Amino acid sequence: MKTGGITTAVQPQALAKAADIKAAAKAFEAVFLRQMIGSMRQANLGEDILGNRATDQFRELSDAKLADNMAETGGFGIAEMLLKQFGASGGTK
């Protein structure tokens, strides 16, 4: 009896797991960048002329979107380091 081997049955699960790890790594990078940008915003040099709660909320939303975009492009490499650490870079290992 000839069989295809175990690798063909396991491969789709491994690819799905690698995709889940990649998504989690990018999400972690986005959260990290949001915290970093938020900390930078708190370092005020002076009083804001237009400073009110609506402006603060807009800046928080803008910072969150900026962090998501930065994480998606992978410019900081945090997600890549996590993928290497967990062995999910391209589904190998």
Give the C-alpha separation, 55 to 57, whole Å.
5
Average pLDDT, the chain: 79
Tokens 């009896």 map to which residue?
1
Give the C-alpha separation, 36 to 50, whole Å.
23
Give the C-alpha separation, 10 to 6, whole Å.
6
pLDDT in the model for residue 10: 53
* Average pLDDT rounded to a whole number, residues 7-18: 66
* Average pLDDT rounded to a whole number, residues 45-70: 82
CB 70 within 8 Å of CB 34: no
Lowest mean pLDDT among 4-8, 36-40, 60-64: 4-8
Which of 38-42, 46-50, 61-65 is predicted most confidently? Answer: 61-65
The separation between CA 83 and the C-alpha centre of its own chain, rounded to angstroms, equals 11
What pTM did the predictor assign?
0.66
CB 37 within 8 Å of CB 65: no
